[in-house]
Amino acid sequence: GRGSVLEDTLKNWSQYKQDCMKRLEDERGLLT
């Protein structure tokens, strides 16, 4: 039902956030 869709969205969101954080860290590493 809708619950699973919401769970998938949250999972994708946390994964997306993790990727963004990693990218920011990588860019910071390149700048330093």
**What are the pLDDT digits (tens) for 1-32?**
678 999 999 999 999 999 999 999 999 998 77
Which amino acid would we find at residue 7? E
Rounded-to-integer distance, Cα 6 and Cα 10, Å? 6
pLDDT for the residue 1: 64
pLDDT for the residue 11: 96
pLDDT for the residue 23: 96
**Model pTM greater than 0.75?**
no
Domain ranges of the chain: 1-32
- With b for 16 or more beta-carbon neighbours within 10 A and e for fewer, the 1-32 pattern comes to eeeeeeeeeeeeeeeeeeeeeeeeeeeeeeee
